[in-house]
Amino acid sequence: MRIALVSDAWTPQVNGVVRTLQTTVAELRRRGHEVTPITPDLFATLPCPSYPDIRLAIGCGPAMRRRLDALDADAIHIATEGPLGWAARRWCLSHGLPFSTSFHTRFPDYLAVRTGLSAELFWPVLRRFHAPAGSILTATDTLAQELAARGLPQTRRWSRGVDLDLFSPDNAPHPALASLQRPIQLYVGRVAVEKNIGAFLDTNVSGTKVVVGDGPALKMLRQRYPDALFLGALHGALLAAAYAGADVLVFPSLTDTFGLVMVEALASGTPVAGFPVRGPIDIITGGGRGPDGRASGRIGALSENLETAIVDALTADRAACAAEGARYSWSACTDQFLAGLCLVGHEALRSAA
């Protein structure tokens, strides 16, 4: 199958959305599908206001039309609501062709944090973007329920996976953690205001706070919290070693749709602490289930008081964490992605034959 994947999020950005998309593309190609990513590196770009590490395509409409005209894809998936996403959406609507979208980022909440305005002011734009899609791929049931309540009922499940060859409780701890006072409380992700990292760094729990990641708030947080250890962005084996060496992953975000770092931590045997909001509720509530689907122990803690969540998570069952993390398969996620695509007419006819 020929698949066009349109995304404003791509390398060199480092986040869960990019990791999800690139891993899915690799798995699709491994299965023999022809996947063409249409991403910002193919266009002229400008830095995103207040977030210069993100590049936004400019004047991309004509070039998008040429690419999609030439590609003659069997399915078009629009992953993001940025300039490329809107350009691909216009092309599909002008040609009367079906397409799928995915809801990775709660932009209304992010913009509310950055502007001080109500998130409700921004929801109409997202509703307009996704409304014509034949399917909207979402990572969790709670997000699907919310979108349905907002007039977007056509959701399909697209969960996330973990590289279990990389993230494992058997990994040696990161050397930078070796001499730190425990318990080691770890944050992994973008260092940006919408991630609510200050709520984590303001907690009063004994031990050491470690931040892994890069972003526009890094300099400010380093100055404000000199007792925390900031390791910058880590990748591959070094990231896996940071997870394995921590006593708890703290996930303070109130706005994420999933939180890939949580399942990476669990696969590393590290419990998770967070607020009882979408994402953490879907992953942590109910505890670990293990390979046989049966309850296998507590894998973290959620509380409106983040300090309480951290202290409670420190007593979770690390074996249960690893068992729960092992349930997240990229192969199964790719199956879900394929099932959620909206096939263009000729491919739909071949599939039905």
Domain CATH number, residue 252 = 3.40.50.2000
* Contact present, 283 and 251 (Cβ < 8 Å): no
Report if residue 121 sits inside a domain. Answer: yes
Considering the domain architecture, whether residues 229 and 147 belong to the same structural domain is answered as no
Considering the domain architecture, whether residues 9 and 157 belong to the same structural domain is answered as yes
Residue with tokens 């409380």: 185
Considering the domain architecture, whether residues 144 and 261 belong to the same structural domain is answered as no
Structurally, the chain folds into a number of domains equal to 2
Between 33-42, 79-88, 105-114, 311-320, the lowest mean confidence (pLDDT) is in: 105-114
Considering the domain architecture, whether residues 118 and 213 belong to the same structural domain is answered as no
Domain with 111, as residue range(s), is 2-161+331-352
Instruction: Give the separation between CA 251 and CA 284, rounded to whole angstroms.
Output: 11
The pLDDT confidence band at residue 105, using thresholds 50, 70 and 90, is confident
Considering the domain architecture, whether residues 48 and 71 belong to the same structural domain is answered as yes
Residue scoring higher pLDDT (53 or 190): 190
Considering the domain architecture, whether residues 179 and 276 belong to the same structural domain is answered as yes
Considering the domain architecture, whether residues 129 and 239 belong to the same structural domain is answered as no
Of 289, 283, 291, 285, nearest to 265 by C-alpha is 283
Report if residue 143 sits inside a domain. Answer: yes
Report if residue 277 sits inside a domain. Answer: yes
Considering the domain architecture, whether residues 109 and 212 belong to the same structural domain is answered as no
Considering the domain architecture, whether residues 107 and 216 belong to the same structural domain is answered as no
Considering the domain architecture, whether residues 321 and 210 belong to the same structural domain is answered as yes
Report if residue 169 sits inside a domain. Answer: no
Reported as a single tens digit per residue, the pLDDT across 215-273 is 999 999 999 999 999 999 999 999 999 999 999 999 999 988 888 999 999 999 999 99
Is the backbone of residue 207 left (phi > 0), alpha (psi -120 to 50) or beta? left
Q: Which residues pair with 302 in a beta bridge?
A: 274
Considering the domain architecture, whether residues 117 and 246 belong to the same structural domain is answered as no
Considering the domain architecture, whether residues 312 and 268 belong to the same structural domain is answered as yes
Report if residue 167 sits inside a domain. Answer: no
Report if residue 222 sits inside a domain. Answer: yes
Of 226, 218, 224, 228, nearest to 191 by C-alpha is 218
Is this structure's pTM higher than 0.85?
no
* Contact present, 112 and 193 (Cβ < 8 Å): no
Reported as a single tens digit per residue, the pLDDT across 263-320 is 999 999 999 999 999 889 999 986 655 545 555 689 999 999 999 999 999 999 999 9
pLDDT at position 41: 93
DSSP string, 97-110: ---EEE--B-HHHH
| Structure-token pair, residue 34 | 């022809």
